[in-house]
Each structure stands twice: as C-alpha cells, then as structure tokens.
Amino acid sequence: MQKVALVTGCRSGFGLGVAQIAARTGFVVYAGLRDIGTRQALEDATRGLPVHPIQLDVTRADERASAVERIRKEHGRLDALVNNAGLPLGGFLEQVEEDELRHLFDVNVFGAWGMTKACLPLMRASGGGTVVMVSSMSGRTAIPGLGAYAGTKFALEGLSEAWRHELAVFGIRVVAIEPGAYRTDIFSRNRRICRNARDPSSPYAPYVERLDRLYDRTVARIARDPDEVCRKIVELMSERRPAFRHPVGPGARPREAALWLLPFGAIEAAVHRALFKS
C-alpha cells in the first residue's frame, strides 16, 4: 500500500524539498501552504509527482482538522508527518514585544503541537508512522539576538522528547532534526527581526550591527544546500528504528560536541568575546 505523508510549510526551503523528494521515493504527499495562493513554485517543482498542495495554516485548528480529514477520506491512512512550518525572529529579548513573541510561539510550538495532535488518531489507525519535528541547533544552544527563536525550538525539543516516549507504544516514532545553517528563505525572504531591533536609542544598538555582520559572515561562509536536510528527513520518514536527535550540517556536530565536552562557562566566554568585545 502506498505510503502517505503530510508536510507543512511547503512554499519553499525544506518543506518544498521534502515534498519533492518524498514523492519521488514513493510517498503520496499532502503539501501544506499557509496561503494556497502561493503554490506556484511547489507545483512547478513537483509537476508529474503525487503531490497535493493544500491550504494549511498550522495556527488554525479548523485547517489542521480539514487537512487530516481530507487525507482520511482520500487515502484512509497517514504514515508520516513533517512539522516543518516555522518562523524565525531576530532581536535581543528585551527588544521583542509580547505580540511578536506570542505569534512566534503560536507558529513554531502550538502549530506543531496542534498539527501532531490532529494527526495522531489517523496515524494510530494506520498502524503507526513517523513524526519528524524540524527543530534547529538553536533548540540546543541559545545565542544573543536569537533568544526568542531559540525559546520556541527549546520548547519544541521538550514536546518532541515527551512524545517520543508517549507514542512509542502505538508504533509512532518521533524524531527531531536539528539543522545548522542552510541556504533557505529563513536567511532571505523570511528573515525577520523584531520591530524594535533597529531603534537607535536602544541600549543594544551598538551590538545589533555587530550581530548582523557576524550573522551574515557566518551564513556566507558555511551555509549549504538545503537538499542535504531534505534527503535526511525523507530517510527518517521510512526508517524503522531512528535515533531521536539528528544534528545536520555546518556547525551542528561541533556545537553538539561542545555541549557535551565544555562547561557552560567556556561557551559563555566564547559567545561574549565574539559579540560584546571589540
């Protein structure tokens, strides 16, 4: 029986790539878009493949339920869910306003939680499956200027770990993939900063420009083709006994090793030198 996958956030980047590769490897893919009117790039990239663009804003319970019900009616099963939809947000935490932080958590945390919850009954009825949470290395280490984003990814890691335990009894595997820097819209069209980040009167103003330069230099030097992450996600969708966490890409392994081997004080000193010292 042909396997069925639901992938969120498929306008570009990892979501679009996963939809394309998964369809080529035998999945029927339902590709969620926050605005179905933006489906052109997805349709062009997946022409001739079993990919179905669907309206799916993960923050809306009615759209989550509608997506799952359509899959149930058309295929009667769901074998994989990829929670890819997410937003970045730059800015020092004191600069971030409450509405910005709430919206970020609504998409990155509550959206993934709600989407998973909506899919679980159909996945259980299908005899199990895989939930892939697209996290980040920012879900393991938080750096200045990305604290709000890191907060959402730390929360997603906690949810994922608990679900890993809770759903194993039903044959549902939960994995977290933790990409480093890749050339996706998160660094261009979707690059978002809080509205107060450029305030020249802010006590953080001297550090914002420095952080921008450091960020741009790092991305230009090490960012890689997102296809690497997309292929890894598709592999995990079919793996029978996947490990829980999967750091992927530039800087991911060294940062993971640093977490295990270095005291926090050493990491703290390195961050402080890079950003706050001339």
**Cα radius of gyration (the chain):** 19
Mean pLDDT over the full length of the chain: 90
Contacts of 26 (CB under 8 A, 6+ apart): 2, 3
What residue ranges do the domains of the chain occupy?
4-276
For range 27-52, the mean pLDDT: 97
| pLDDT tens per residue, range 70-104 | 999 999 999 999 999 999 999 999 999 999 999 99
Contact 196, 171 (CB under 8 A): no
The answer regarding whether domain 4-276 maps to CATH 3.90.550.10 reads no
pLDDT band at 175 (very low <50, low <70, confident <90, very high): very high
Please choose, from the candidates 1, 259, 253, the residue with its C-alpha nearest in 3D space to the C-alpha of residue 142.
Answer: 259
Query: Which residues are catalytic, by number?
Result: 149
Q: What is residue 188's predicted lDDT score, i.e. its pLDDT?
A: 46
| pLDDT tens per residue, range 134-170 | 999 888 888 899 999 999 999 999 999 999 999 999 9
Q: What is residue 31's predicted lDDT score, i.e. its pLDDT?
A: 98
Contacts of 241 (CB under 8 A, 6+ apart): 173
Q: Which residue has the higher pLDDT, 208 or 99?
A: 99
Q: What is residue 224's predicted lDDT score, i.e. its pLDDT?
A: 66
HSE (side-chain half, CA atoms, 13 Å) at 177: 26
CA distance 275 to 214: 8
**Alpha-carbon dihedral sign for residues 245, 251, 257, 260:** negative
DSSP states of 147-215: HHHHHHHHHHHHHHHHHHHHHGGGTEEEEEEEE--BSSGGGTTT--B-TTTT-TTSTTHHHHHHHHHHH
